[in-house]
Amino acid sequence: MTPPQLAALVPELSCSDFEQSLKFYTKILGFKVLFERPEREFAYLALGKAQIMLEQSNGYWETGPLQKPYGRGVNFQIVVPDLQPIVDHLANSGVALFQAPETAWYRIDKVERGVREFLVQDPDGYLLRFSQLIGDRPTARDQA
Which pLDDT does position 33 carry in this prediction?
Answer: 97
Which residues are CB-neighbours of 140 under 8 A, at least 6 positions away? 112
Give the pLDDT band of residue 60 (cuts 50, 70, 90): confident
The helix or strand, by DSSP H or E, that contains position 21, with its residue range, turns out to be helix 18-23
Rg (CA), the chain: 17
Q: In order of start, what are the domains of the chain with their CATH numbers? A: 12-58+72-143 (3.10.180.10)
pLDDT band at 66 (very low <50, low <70, confident <90, very high): confident
Give the pLDDT score at 137: 94
- Quote the pLDDT of residue 144: 53
Each residue's pLDDT tens digit, 72-125:
999 999 999 999 999 999 999 999 999 999 999 999 998 999 999 999 999 999
